[in-house]
Chains A and B, each alone.
Chain A
């Protein structure tokens, strides 16, 4: 009887480990392109993930193996009485210090990565100097505001700014910075491919930087509950080479300031509604 149960409790961790090991092979892993992050920071995050995965896998296999072994013995214990003990100080010490050391190591190990991602004084200077765009989340769409070509992004909207909805173009190969804000409730700027996530908080303007290293079209989704349409804040981030990006901006300027007579009225106010594509 007892042995059957031991097998039952053996079966499940084995299944878990096997499915985890098989996961990358059958695509149950990070999304896109061979589970490779599309940014260097993302790759570092993935590596941290794999490190933790290795540690936790070892801990998981270890604890489950010992558990099943102990159960197996306990089930077959023919002694009249169990072994009488109230504990063992040395053992307690060992199994407090070792996990403690591992955890402390993990905590310290990741600090740099976190600092690079979020500490303002670690942001790449080039990106901070010329923010790419302002991203405004609202129920239930993403709005983007680029500065006019050759100008700098101002905190307040300017008449010659360029606007798009639900489509953000980003050049690759250089770090870029967006100013994230929200017009109504809380949203979250989630770019799975780049392992970027940052909530858009009403009342704050949060700078987020990233550096895409692969061209492509990536999904941008909202990861903070923002109302009934939370699931449909669907947008794309299009990562393209610098020239294409510049061309895109030019094109956008033309579209937005076309006065219907074949002229580009670059300095008149570009109304939002005109720019809204969808």
Chain B
């Protein structure tokens, strides 16, 4: 690899620019505030999550492939990294049905708080149409 490092040098800077652009992109997604909108029938938050996580994955791939030289490594990289990634994602997915979603009745008092907050928000909105901080 050392014979082509000049070539690689150029590449590193372009990778760097690509990463910066990606970062800018995710900030743009935040600024245009997708959360409140409902585009193509998708919940805004979900759409936002998909978009920014896709950008993050792209960035991660750039870093992995070029900065961490995975492009130049042998096949062991697959042996090591694919099970890791499967396990890492699998862990999250496997605990989602229990913690991310509640099969049984969720008794958290926060649900009551939320209800109360909605009520007061409705009340204050009726009184003065200013934006209130209550969620």
Contacts and interface: CB of A to CB of B under 8 A. Distances in A.
Interface stretch (B21-29, B32-40, B85-93, B103-111): B103-111
A104 interface: no
What secondary structure prevails in chain B residues at the interface with A? loop
B103 A203 contact: no
Contacts of A120: 103
Contacts of A155: 105
A204 B107 CA distance: 5
B102 interface: yes
A192 interface: no
A203 B102 CA distance: 10
Nearest to B109: A203
A181 interface: yes
Interface in A162-213: 179, 181, 203-207
What secondary structure prevails in chain A residues at the interface with B? strand
Interface residues of B, number: 7
Contacts of B103: 120
A205 B106 CA distance: 6
Contacts of A179: 105
B117 to A, nearest CB: 18
Interface string B87-128: 000000000000000111111100000000000000000000
Contacts of A181: 107
Contacts of B102: 204
A36 B103 CA distance: 32
Interface string A74-96: 00000000000000000000000
Contacts of A203: 106-108
Contacts of B104: 204-207
Nearest to A181: B107
Nearest to A207: B104
Contacts of B108: 203
A181 B102 CA distance: 14
Nearest to B107: A205
Contacts of B105: 155, 179, 204-207
B113 to A, nearest CB: 14
A206 B103 CA distance: 9
Contacts of A207: 104-105
A181 B104 CA distance: 11
Interface of A: 120, 155, 179, 181, 203-207
Query: Nearest 9 CB-CB pairs, A to B?
Result: A205-B105, A206-B104, A204-B104, A205-B107, A203-B107, A203-B108, A204-B107, A205-B104, A181-B107
Given A203-B107, A204-B107, 18 more contacts: A120-B103, A155-B105, A179-B105, A181-B107, A203-B106, A203-B108, A204-B102, A204-B104, A204-B105, A204-B106, A205-B104, A205-B105, A205-B106, A205-B107, A206-B104, A206-B105, A207-B104, A207-B105
20 contacts: A120-B103, A155-B105, A179-B105, A181-B107, A203-B106, A203-B107, A203-B108, A204-B102, A204-B104, A204-B105, A204-B106, A204-B107, A205-B104, A205-B105, A205-B106, A205-B107, A206-B104, A206-B105, A207-B104, A207-B105
